[in-house]
Structure 1
Amino acid sequence: MSDKQNKVMPSGKALLPFVVFIGVYLGSGIILQAKGVEMAFYQFPAPVAVFLGIITAFILLKGTINEKFESFVQGCGNPDIIIMCTIYLLAGAFAAVSKSMGGVDSTVNLGLTYIPAQYVMAGLFVIAGFISIATGTSVGAIAALGPIAVGVAAKAGLPLPLTLAAVCGGAMFGDNLSVISDTTIAATRTQGCEMRDKFRVNIFIAAPAAIITIILLLVLGHPTSIPTMQTYDFNIIKVLPYIFVLVLALAGMNVFAVLTGGIFLSGIIGFAYGDLTVLTFAQQVFTGFTNMTDIFLLSLLTGGLAHMVTKAGGIQFLLNAIQKMIKGKKSAEIGIAALVSLTDAAVANNTVAIIINGPIAKELCDKYKVDPRRSAALLDSFSCVLQGLIPYGAQMLILTSFSKGAVSPMQVIPLLWYQQLLVVSAIASIFIPFADGLIKKNPWKWEDEKAAS
Structure 2
Amino acid sequence: MIGILPLVLFVLLFLGGGLFFSALGIKDAFYQLPPMVAILPAIALAWYMRGKGALEAFFSGVGHRDILLMCSVFLLAGAFGQITKDIGAVDAVVNLGLSVVSPQWLVVGIFAVSAFIGTAIGTSMGVIIAVAPVVVAMGTYVHCDMALMMGAVVGGAMFGDNLSLVSDTTIASVSSLGADGRRKFVLNAKLALMSALICSCLLFDANPAGMVNVESGGQWILTLPYALLLCLSLCHVNVFLTLIFSTVFAVLIGVILTDYSVLHSFKGIQLGFLSMADITLLSLMIAGLSGLIGRDVIVNIGAKLSAWVEQRGDARLAQFLMIKLGLVCDMLLANNTIAIIIAAPIIRQLADRYHIKRHIAAAWIDISSCVMQGLIPYGAQILLASSLAGVSPLMIALKVYYCWILGLVLAIYVYLWGKKN
Structure 1 position 146 matched with structure 2 position 139: yes
Which residue of structure 2 aligns with residue 122 of structure 1?
A: 105
Matched, 1:39 2:32: no
Q: Distance in 1 between matches of 2:16 and 2:201?
A: 41
Q: Distance in 2 between matches of 1:70 and 1:354?
A: 18
Moved more, 364-373 or 292-301: 364-373
Tell me which residue corresponds to 2:153: 174
Match in the other structure for 1:292: 276
Show the counterpart of 1:107: 93
Per the normalisation by structure 2, the TM-score is: 0.66
Q: Is residue 2:311 matched to residue 1:318?
A: no
Deviations 1:181-239 (A, max 9, x none): 999xxxx8899969xx9xx9999866665566667877x7999x9x9996434433222
Verify: 1:58 aligned to 2:51, yes or no: no
Match among 280, 285, 291 for residue 307 of structure 1: 291
* Cα pair distance change 1:176/1:241, threshold 3 Å: farther
Among 58, 77, 83, the residue aligned to 1:72: 58
Q: Secondary structure of 1:302's partner? A: helix
Residue 20 of structure 1: which of 2, 6, 9 is its match?
Answer: 9
Root mean square deviation of aligned Cα: 4.9
Amino acid at match of 1:280: H
Whichever residue aligns with residue 283 of structure 2, its letter is S
Q: Tell me the CA shift for residue 244 of structure 1.
A: 2.0
**Structure 1 residues 139, 292: closer, same or farther in 2, change over 3 A?**
same
Question: Which structure 2 residues correspond to residues 52-451 of structure 1 after superposition, within 5 A?
Answer: 52-63=41-52, 67-115=53-101, 119-126=102-109, 130=113, 136=129, 143-150=136-143, 164=144, 171-178=150-157, 209=195, 231-274=215-258, 276-310=260-294, 313-323=296-306, 330-331=319-320, 334-335=323-324, 338-339=327-328, 355=334, 360-369=339-348, 378-384=368-374, 422-423=406-407
Aligned amino acid, residue 22 of structure 2: Q
**1:10-36 CA distances to partner (integer Å, 9 max, x unpaired)?**
xx4433322332232223222212211
| Residue pair 1:191, 1:361 contacting (<8 A) in 2 also | no
Identity %: 25
Gaps of 5+ in 1: 1-11, 151-163, 344-352, 388-392, 402-408, 433-453
Give the direction of change, closer, same or farther, for the CA distance of 1:275–1:45 in structure 2 (3 Å limit).
Answer: farther
Distance 1:242 1:428 in 2: 40
Inter-CA distance 192–422: structure 2 relative to 1 (3 Å threshold): closer
Q: Secondary structure at the match of 1:110?
A: helix
Partner Cα distance (2:44, 2:84) in 1: 39
Deviation track 1:420-447 (CA, whole Å, cap 9, x = no partner) reads 6555666689899xxxxxxxxxxxxxxx
State the Cα distance separating 1:257 from its structure 2 match.
1.1
SS in 1 for 2:81: helix
Partner of residue 38, structure 2 = 49
Q: State which drifts further: 355-364 or 51-60.
A: 355-364
Displacement of 1:81 after TM fit?
Answer: 1.6
Contact 2:113 2:156 in 1 (8 A): no
CA distance, structure 1, for counterparts of residue 197 and residue 229 of structure 2: 24
Q: Deviations over 1:136-162 (max 9, x none)?
A: 388755543334223xxxxxxxxxxxx
Cα distance between partner residues in 2 of 1:373 and 1:267: 43
Q: Is the 8 A contact 1:139 1:171 kept in 2?
A: yes
Q: Normalising by the residue count of structure 1, what TM-score does the alignment of the two structures yield?
A: 0.62
State the alpha-carbon separation in 2 of the partners of residues 383 and 429 from structure 1: 20
Aligned-pair distance for 1:101? 2.1
Shift of 1:108: 1.8
Q: Aligned with 1:19: secondary structure?
A: helix
Distance (Å, rounded) in 1 between the aligned partners of 2:391 and 2:282 = 28
User: Structure 1's 427 and 19: CA in aligned 2 closer, same or farther, altered over 3 A?
Assistant: closer
SS of the residue aligned with 1:37? coil
Distance in 2 (alpha carbons) for counterparts of 1:221 and 1:77: 42
- Give 1:451's aligned residue: none
SS in 1 for 2:6: helix
Q: Is the 8 A contact 2:169 2:337 kept in 1?
A: yes
Which runs of 5 or more structure 2 residues have no equivalent in the other structure? Answer: 118-126, 174-180, 310-314, 349-357, 378-382, 417-421
**1:406 corresponding residue in structure 2:** none
Of stretches 250-259 and 167-176 in structure 1, the one that deviates more from structure 2 is 167-176
Cα 1:217–1:62 shift into 2, 3 Å: closer
1:335 and 1:136 map into 2 onto residues whose CA distance is 30
C-alpha spacing 1:363/1:420, structure 2 compared with 1 (3 Å): closer
Distance 1:46 1:137 in 2: 25
What CA distance in whole angstroms lies between the structure 1 residues aligned with 2:336 and 2:110?
A: 31
Mapped contact 2:60–2:291 kept (Cα < 8 A): yes
Distance in 2 (alpha carbons) for counterparts of 1:174 and 1:246: 15
* Alpha-carbon distance change, 259 to 147 in structure 1, aligned in 2, over 3 angstroms: closer
Contact 1:205 1:425 in 2 (8 A): yes
Number of equivalent positions = 363
For residue 28 of structure 2, what is the amino acid of its counterpart?
Answer: M
